[in-house]
Structure 1
């Protein structure tokens, strides 16, 4: 194998393969004058070994050679993992369409017909160099893109780990999923549609005979909504009554704001202190354990459902404005009464608006139907049975967070 020294400004490496030494020298001289570094090989086998050690940028190979032909050489070259694309020009006296197609089929990029003119040779090599330049540019861009995607994947993995931990923390805001009081039981349901969600349910004891139960649905999804639920969980904490804005100091103990006043107070806090575009809907019920009297406020939340002891279902409330949308919005407290065996269900619209395969929402009628089907279940069993029906309706796919608070009144002991 011989090598011709390049001019002062050398370009890409070109390998000339021909069993004729004279033909190789003619081609190599013409190519070197154009500024390319030229190497020669007297056979396809020799050229293939060279390509394994140090792949060139372009190859000009004779078709007809003793031993391995140029066609076989091209096919073998394409099977190598050369680390980059090698532009391959077949040198031939063949002009038949079928044979040219055969060369293209095994991986040749271009053809030169003998005898080769210098101008055509330089033009074909220049065309190959343009292809190689585009290939190298794409390769560099793909490398940058791969690197960027790797960094993004790392960031995604980090965020995903944080969201998993945030989900655990958010679930910890609901410290108890079930509690039995003297005259009633409270069971809670919370299922975010993503890692974290904007729904919150809970309860707190106001006094020995009164309990507050709430269901909240913060607008949107994700981190912003989750942060809002964390703030609201602190404002309605059952563990820190001095921080619970539903409660007011009454001597040595605590009394409670009327439900409508609690909604107004929350509205002021969101609009004047939090200063956020996020809002939420609320259903809050204050239950008297002795009489079954329930004072309730509905602020944009789905209508609470009462299921009587006979299994019949009725919906109560007047709608109302969501919290955090309208300055000085007014809210109304309504009163209902639970008899022994009755239950009150406060739920987010993730249940009532759960769509079926055709996009039809469950709605109040669908909810009442499922409640009737589950009427014999109690507490967490009732919620589990309800969700099984809602799951079947929605095909297991929920576009929104799902939550609920179930109050089951047994009556005073």
Structure 2
């Protein structure tokens, strides 16, 4: 075996495909000599007699390596390299400059032009192929990086597609969850109930609602499941069935000895739901709740507060008071006891039950809204009623927190219509 053959065998590129080397030189003899060495080493070779021809070739086929003379007619080797480096859309080309220049300033200029390496004329086959093997390692890393990037792009595309589908499903789930609260505004005699539900994400763990018990009484509930997102939303959907508008499914209702619907006492219902969570559902979560039964004739409200933020009563004269002692959340301790709270809503009074997404809203300094802030909102919006009040409350809370909502926001507002003033009542009597 000749020396040339041994060198060619040892120097063949390791990639499965043959690397394409473009020779750029205005000397046909120089190109022919280099082409022989490269072909024997296993490279595919293409030739160009000037920089313009080389650029035209690169527009149709991208070489792996360009071996260019420095001094050529028209465009020089460094100028060719600069133009190629300006094209950042194509695959990286390893660029070798052939030159008789060996001054440090010349070398620096060539590198600044974008060249990867130099070969000094006259060039030996051994040195040429050694430099190409060094370039081969860089090109192999480039190939691996492109392969990884391609796989990442495919994965990201798949993730985007999955995210789009998930967002679509979550949007539908949000609409369904909003439907769980039924009517946002309901009337029961002289009483009105307004509901607000604003999840922090697509879906949330808060739930509010109301339902008729019989011709005299109605029930209201506010629930906040621990955690956020889909898991919390699924539990709220399960709990919504316990307060269903369908009387046969509502856990709060039973038929008394006269065949009429009545409500279980709020404390009894809380104990039942606590047992349901711990014994039947067996989930690693809990929820806070306020459940109240309202008598439309007397205005009496009997409620249970199970770990939920304190209800707030605003009297007809504008004064605000906090109700309740807190209580244990539902689903924490088996056999937990719950106390009932009793109060009377006189004409013109209203009762607000807000979730901790409102109470715990914080300003830039970290100070939470709390009872003072919520009381101030009620005082400021004293003349606003129904959905207008709960919507104004949301705007006030978001303004306080700088537009940031980190938790689900929900609220339930019970209002008793104010008694007509004496003059208005007399006018109505005279007209009658």
- Could you tell me how far apart the structure 2 residues matched to 1:80 and 1:366 are? 60
Q: CA deviation at 1:24?
A: 2.2
1:323 alignment partner in structure 2: 330
- Could you tell me how far apart the structure 2 residues matched to 1:78 and 1:411 are? 80
Q: CA deviation at 1:26?
A: 2.8
- Could you tell me how far apart the structure 1 residues matched to 2:316 and 2:122 are? 102
Matches within 5 A, 1:193-204: 193-204=200-211
1:55 alignment partner in structure 2: 62
Matches within 5 A, 1:7-406: 11-80=18-87, 83-238=90-245, 240-250=246-256, 251-406=258-413
Contact residue 306 and residue 315 of structure 1 kept, 8 A: yes
* Partner secondary structure for residue 383 of structure 2: coil
Q: CA deviation at 1:73?
A: 1.9
Q: Indicate the larger mover: 48-57 or 119-128.
A: 48-57
- Could you tell me how far apart the structure 2 residues matched to 1:403 and 1:55 are? 61
- Could you tell me how far apart the structure 1 residues matched to 2:410 and 2:302 are? 21
Q: Indicate the larger mover: 15-24 or 299-308.
A: 15-24
- Could you tell me how far apart the structure 1 residues matched to 2:105 and 2:316 are? 87
* Partner secondary structure for residue 168 of structure 1: helix
Q: Indicate the larger mover: 121-130 or 298-307.
A: 121-130
Contact residue 348 and residue 419 of structure 2 kept, 8 A: no
Contact residue 220 and residue 292 of structure 2 kept, 8 A: yes
Contact residue 289 and residue 412 of structure 1 kept, 8 A: no
- Could you tell me how far apart the structure 2 residues matched to 1:7 and 1:103 are? 29
Q: Indicate the larger mover: 306-315 or 9-18.
A: 9-18
Contact residue 184 and residue 411 of structure 1 kept, 8 A: no
Deviations 1:150-196 (A, max 9, x none): 00100000000000111111111121111222221111111111111
- Could you tell me how far apart the structure 2 residues matched to 1:52 and 1:338 are? 83
Q: CA deviation at 1:348?
A: 0.6
Deviations 1:89-130 (A, max 9, x none): 111122233333332233211111222233322221111111
Deviations 1:357-399 (A, max 9, x none): 2221101111111111111211112212222221210122110
Contact residue 306 and residue 345 of structure 1 kept, 8 A: yes
TM-score, L = length of structure 1: 0.94
- Could you tell me how far apart the structure 2 residues matched to 1:7 and 1:93 are? 25
TM-score, L = length of structure 2: 0.90
Q: Indicate the larger mover: 23-32 or 302-311.
A: 23-32
- Could you tell me how far apart the structure 1 residues matched to 2:219 and 2:400 are? 31
| 1:379/1:45 CA distance change after superposition, 3 Å | closer
* Partner secondary structure for residue 243 of structure 1: coil
- Could you tell me how far apart the structure 2 residues matched to 1:31 and 1:234 are? 79
Unmatched tracts of structure 2, length 5 or more: 421-432
* Partner secondary structure for residue 212 of structure 1: strand
Unmatched tracts of structure 1, length 5 or more: none
- Could you tell me how far apart the structure 2 residues matched to 1:48 and 1:187 are? 73
Q: CA deviation at 1:227?
A: 1.2
